[in-house]
C-alpha cells in the first residue's frame, strides 16, 4: 500500500510543512500540491467546502506528492469514515476535549479489531493501492485538535490514548476559550505559555505536535520550537496577501 510519508516523518522526528485548503475547487488544490507542500488539508469545518467537493479535490491532490488530509466538521464516526473512504490519508478532528473523545476519534479511524471503522474504502483503496485493507490502520493518521481550556486541562489524559498520531493546536479557539481574542498568530505571553505547555506534553508522550499558523514568521517560530506539523497558510490567505501587496504597489 502507498506509504503515509508524513506519518513516517513525524515518527522519526522530522518536521513537515503543510498548506490549508479553504477554497472548494480542484484547481486550487492541485496548484497548492504542485508547490511542494508535504501535506495539504481540506477544511470541511470552516472552509467553503462540502463533502461533495472531496470527490474532485482529493484526486487533484493525488496528482502531486502532497499527502492528503481532511479536517472533518466534527468528531463523529460518519464524518471521519466518509473522509477516509474518499481517499484522505488522515483526519484532523476538531474540539477534542477529553480522553473519551480522543478514543472515539481513534476508533473511527481504525478498522476492527483496533477500532470501529466500517469497511468500504471506495476511492481510498484505489489511491492507497494493494494491501489497503490490511495496512490502513497503520497508515491513516488520527490527528486531534487541542483548542479549548478543557482540552488543555486534560492534555496528559488525551495524549495517553493509544492511536493518537498527532495533536494540532487551534490558536484562535484556544485563545477564545481562555478569555482572549481569537488571534491565530498570537504573541500574548499567556497564549505562548499554553502552546509551549502542549508542545512539552507531546514530547513527553511521543506524539507529533502540530499547529495552525497564518504567517511565515510564526511557522518558523514554531518549527524552531520543535513542532513537526506546521501550516504555512491557507489558499485564501495566500491569494489575499499577494493580491493586496501587488495592488497596493501598483496604486502607489
Cis peptide before 113 (omega within 30 of 0): yes
Answer left, alpha or beta for residue 248, where phi above 0 means left and psi between -120 and 50 means alpha. alpha
* Confidence (pTM): 0.97
Contact 169, 152 (CB under 8 A): no
Q: Which CATH class is domain 5-251?
A: alpha beta
Q: What is the pLDDT of residue 39?
A: 98
Closest CA to 22 of 173, 238, 184: 238
- Give the count of beta carbons closer than 10 Å to the beta carbon of residue 75: 20
CA–CA separation, 187 and 19 (whole Å): 22
Q: What is the pLDDT of residue 79?
A: 98
Q: Which residues are catalytic?
A: 46
Name the grid cell of 176: 477564545
Q: What is the pLDDT of residue 238?
A: 97
Q: What is the pLDDT of residue 57?
A: 98
CA–CA separation, 174 and 94 (whole Å): 12
Q: What is the pLDDT of residue 47?
A: 84
CA–CA separation, 28 and 21 (whole Å): 8
pLDDT in tens, the chain (252 residues): 999 999 999 999 999 999 999 999 999 999 999 999 999 999 999 989 999 999 999 999 999 999 999 999 999 999 999 999 999 999 999 999 999 999 999 999 999 999 999 999 999 999 999 999 999 999 999 999 999 999 999 999 999 999 999 999 999 999 999 999 898 899 999 999 999 999 999 999 999 999 999 999 999 999 999 999 999 999 999 999 999 999 999 999
Closest CA to 101 of 76, 81, 78: 76
Domain borders along the chain are: 5-251
CA–CA separation, 200 and 12 (whole Å): 17
- Who's near 97: CB < 8 A, 6+ residues apart? 148, 150, 151, 154
Measured in degrees and rounded to the nearest 5, phi and psi for residue 106 equal: -60, -45
Amino acid at each position: 500500500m502507498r506509504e503515509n510519508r508524513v506519518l513516517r516523518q513525524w515518527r522519526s522526528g522530522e518536521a513537515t510543512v503543510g498548506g490549508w485548503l479553504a477554497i472548494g475547487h480542484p484547481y486550487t488544490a492541485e496548484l497548492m500540491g504542485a508547490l511542494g507542500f508535504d501535506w495539504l488539508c481540506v477544511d470541511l469545518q470552516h472552509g467553503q467546502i462540502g463533502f461533495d467537493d472531496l470527490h474532485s479535490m482529493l484526486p487533484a491532490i493525488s496528482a502531486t506528492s502532497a499527502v492528503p488530509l481532511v479536517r472533518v466538521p466534527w468528531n463523529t464516526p460518519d464524518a471521519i469514515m466518509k473522509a477516509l473512504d474518499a481517499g484522505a490519508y488522515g483526519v484532523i478532528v476538531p474540539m477534542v476535549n477529553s480522553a473519551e473523545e480522543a478514543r472515539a476519534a481513534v476508533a473511527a479511524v481504525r478498522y476492527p479489531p483496533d477500532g470501529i471503522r466500517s469497511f468500504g474504502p471506495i476511492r481510498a483503496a484505489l489511491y492507497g493501492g494493494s494491501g489497503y485493507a490490511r495496512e490502513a490502520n497503520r497508515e491513516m493518521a488520527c490527528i486531534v485538535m487541542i483548542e479549548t481550556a478543557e482540552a488543555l486541562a486534560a492534555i496528559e489524559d488525551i495524549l495517553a490514548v493509544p492511536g493518537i498520531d498527532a495533536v494540532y493546536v487551534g490558536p484562535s479557539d484556544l485563545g477564545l476559550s481562555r478569555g482572549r481574542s481569537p488571534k491565530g498568530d498570537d504573541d500574548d505571553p499567556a497564549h505562548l505559555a499554553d502552546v509551549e505547555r502542549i508542545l512539552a506534553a507531546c514530547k513527553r508522550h511521543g506524539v507529533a505536535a502540530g499547529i495552525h499558523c497564518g504567517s511565515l514568521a510564526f511557522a518558523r517560530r514554531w518549527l524552531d520550537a520543535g513542532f513537526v506539523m506546521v501550516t504555512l497558510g491557507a489558499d485564501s490567505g495566500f491569494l489575499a496577501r499577494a493580491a493586496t501587496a501587488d495592488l497596493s504597489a501598483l496604486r502607489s
